[in-house]
Structure 1
């Protein structure tokens, strides 16, 4: 074995270990803020398992490992690109959702599982016998197919087409998102760089594996499999696999679910605002500007959250909690309130509380409860502060306001 072959074998052996280790690292954090880790963990678990099978097939490895992985890993390869696509989308949207078209992404894997079900149900001894044949000559996967309906030749042709299509869709989605949300690159530079690195390496890897698959599909399978026509692309694929696995450690924030946290941007400094008569002085200008689309998005998110959850009724509710709940950077919220609405967050919050208190007054809350119950229900911690804010917004005390609407 020459030095290049030895190096490729060592890389291939390391791939399985690294991929499975990354999957184990991300798994405990599936319940963290970055729930997209469920797809990242699946992605590297699939790649690690596939690399482990690949290594044992090509290097006269452990037949038991081949027997265990062959029937289960082959269908999972169809999920390699779909879970990547779902991971990137979940990172962009910061939530996990399934659309009706998403089921098309997993359909090939599901159909393949049903196609190999007779093999999966056979005894381990039968699987072990096939494993010895595969290790002796990988061409035996064509001579002794494990599928019931389709053939290996079909999958070696269809899988590249399917994987390339999903990879293309992932890159288009990523491009459109950052094109339509240019501020995200500034607010989350680590996420931006990681997603492009992850997607581009993954797409390049898909291309090289597709070439290998198509080349192998054209070989004469009546003779011992010869990899000379695909060895270059196979080696490139191994290197890309390794680069993809190692790249995660260059972006450790992605492993620990920190996407939702505002990232440090040294070029940005938010200036303290000066409020006069509930408005920002004209000569105080922000050091950055949010696009109208972003302001509209923030407004919609806040309105829906306030209507559905009524967080302002909690007397400890702060802008920091709002930022955490909606995954909106604090400086974006500060810009929205101070320079778009021209009011402080505390004033906006108190307006919502007073409107709620007025609603309770109209519903007759004072017929059953005292004024103390009213201001507590409206989110105020003290009676004096409630009266002050109520008079500021209505020009009357709560009792005077109630007498007026009942007159």
Structure 2
């Protein structure tokens, strides 16, 4: 029961994180961002079908049974391609990447007999499976027995994990001297992601082996082992989504190394001077044009206005004291709001009017940003009870 609850929560978190990336956070239209969103979405879909079968929900949608079976063969290739896209700043697939579709297409064809089966016959088969879950790996729903799917899926996950580990280790080899904060953030993320996937894959393979040994009566049924392995399998993909939500820098803008010549990126290198130059240029433009007051200001808009590449802007901000581009712009807006407050703006206008004047889309967003910067509300800042030197309300 506990693994099922954990799996259900993991599915919800993965879906939430995928939609968050796709529709809210991947504003730079990052290729790696799209891959990550699709990866999390497919993980959620494939894992949800286990719950559909165990709790009989699939009986209402028998035609969907076995839909995720070939899709599972896309998850580990997508993970590998995602890591490669992050490390090498890729913007599209390569022609050779079509080779990763072969297992998916093979098992898609394998299940054609079930897909084209009469609906009544299909419903009867699905009902029998919901009554006896062991038939999901002991039966034959396609051209090949189900154990072939399980063995191939296990081997595929191991092969792609080896490829992913090789990709990461070879990329970061001899780059220990790089001191970039963004570089360290991405390095930690791709290593942690691969470690989590390794735990998931090995636990799943161990679970398959345990089930196979039980079927041939080589070992007795062991609920404790199933519980432990089930928790590791279900908890791993939940941990991935939680990891991302806990580290918003990985979601806002999404990780990219943005390093063309990594050997030049040390603390004492010219890159620091270059970053300072770009940052100064951004500040001068924003202060001169007051474009930070535009509530629809985006990285690409600023990039076109300054002729500075979007990636360079994002990288420069990531190496500063700001959390991300939105934090950088919001702090400029708050500084402008403070000037207005000190000029007695609130004596005539409301806080909501001030938030709109400063470029915020809502009063709540303005309050949050202001409180983050000064530890008080705009109204409290303008009162006599506030001590601006301490950036806190005086007692």
The question of a shared fold, defined as TM-score above 0.5 by the shorter chain, is answered with yes
User: What's 2:239 paired with?
Assistant: 243
SS, match of residue 288 in structure 1: coil
Alignment of 1:263-278 (within 5 A): none
Contact 1:142 1:221 in 2 (8 A): no
Contact 2:258 2:311 in 1 (8 A): no
Q: How far is the alpha carbon of 1:261 from its aligned partner? A: 9.1
User: What's 2:42 paired with?
Assistant: 46
Q: Distance in 1 between matches of 2:91 and 2:60?
A: 33
Identify the match of residue 212 of structure 1 among 207, 214, 217.
207
Q: 1:318 to 1:101 in 2, by over 3 A?
A: closer
Identify the match of residue 79 of structure 2 among 67, 76, 84.
84
Q: Distance in 2 between matches of 1:127 and 1:133?
A: 10
Q: 1:246 to 1:57 in 2, by over 3 A?
A: same
Contact 1:26 1:255 in 2 (8 A): yes
Q: Which has the higher contact order (CA 8 A, sep 6+)?
A: 2
Q: C-alpha root-mean-square deviation of aligned residues, in Å?
A: 3.6
Q: Deviations over 1:339-391 (max 9, x none)?
A: xxxxxxxxxxxxxxxxxxxxxxxxxxxxxxxxxxxxxxxxxxxxxxxxxxxxx
User: What's 2:104 paired with?
Assistant: 109
User: What's 2:294 paired with?
Assistant: none
Q: Distance in 1 between matches of 2:226 and 2:268?
A: 52
Q: How far is the alpha carbon of 1:216 from its aligned partner? A: 2.4
Identify the match of residue 179 of structure 1 among 170, 173, 179.
173
Identify the match of residue 72 of structure 1 among 64, 67, 75.
67
Q: How far is the alpha carbon of 1:319 from its aligned partner? A: 12
User: What's 1:364 paired with?
Assistant: none
User: Would you say 1:98 and 2:78 are equivalent positions?
Assistant: no
Q: How far is the alpha carbon of 1:82 from its aligned partner? A: 0.8
Contact 1:78 1:159 in 2 (8 A): yes
Q: How far is the alpha carbon of 1:147 from its aligned partner? A: 1.4
User: Would you say 1:233 and 2:219 are equivalent positions?
Assistant: no
User: What's 2:269 paired with?
Assistant: 289
Q: Distance in 1 between matches of 2:86 and 2:131?
A: 43
Q: 1:101 to 1:61 in 2, by over 3 A?
A: same
User: Would you say 1:195 and 2:190 are equivalent positions?
Assistant: yes
Q: How far is the alpha carbon of 1:122 from its aligned partner? A: 2.7
Bigger radius of gyration = 1
Contact 2:21 2:33 in 1 (8 A): yes
User: What's 2:31 paired with?
Assistant: 35
Q: Distance in 2 between matches of 1:199 and 1:95?
A: 19
TM-score of the two chains, using structure 2 as the length reference: 0.61
Q: How far is the alpha carbon of 1:49 from its aligned partner? A: 1.3
How many residue pairs match? The answer is: 278
Give the unaligned 5+ runs of structure 1: 264-269, 271-285, 292-315, 332-407
SS, match of residue 90 in structure 2: coil
Contact 2:138 2:145 in 1 (8 A): no
Identify the match of residue 19 of structure 1 among 14, 21, 34.
14
Q: Distance in 1 between matches of 2:116 and 2:222?
A: 32
Q: 1:91 to 1:320 in 2, by over 3 A?
A: farther
Q: Distance in 1 between matches of 2:215 and 2:34?
A: 41
TM-score of the two chains, using structure 1 as the length reference: 0.59
Q: Deviations over 1:318-351 (max 9, x none)?
A: 99634436689559xxxxxxxxxxxxxxxxxxxx
Contact 1:19 1:44 in 2 (8 A): yes
SS, match of residue 31 in structure 2: coil
Q: Deviations over 1:12-42 (max 9, x none)?
A: 2212222222222222256734221221112
Identify the match of residue 5 of structure 2 among 10, 22, 25.
10
Q: Distance in 1 between matches of 2:43 and 2:159?
A: 19
Q: 1:317 to 1:45 in 2, by over 3 A?
A: closer
Q: Distance in 1 between matches of 2:179 and 2:108?
A: 39
Q: Deviations over 1:89-123 (max 9, x none)?
A: 11112223434553332211111001112212234
- Segment of structure 1 superposing worse, 95-104 or 233-242: 95-104
Q: How far is the alpha carbon of 1:237 from its aligned partner? A: 1.0
Q: Distance in 1 between matches of 2:179 and 2:100?
A: 27
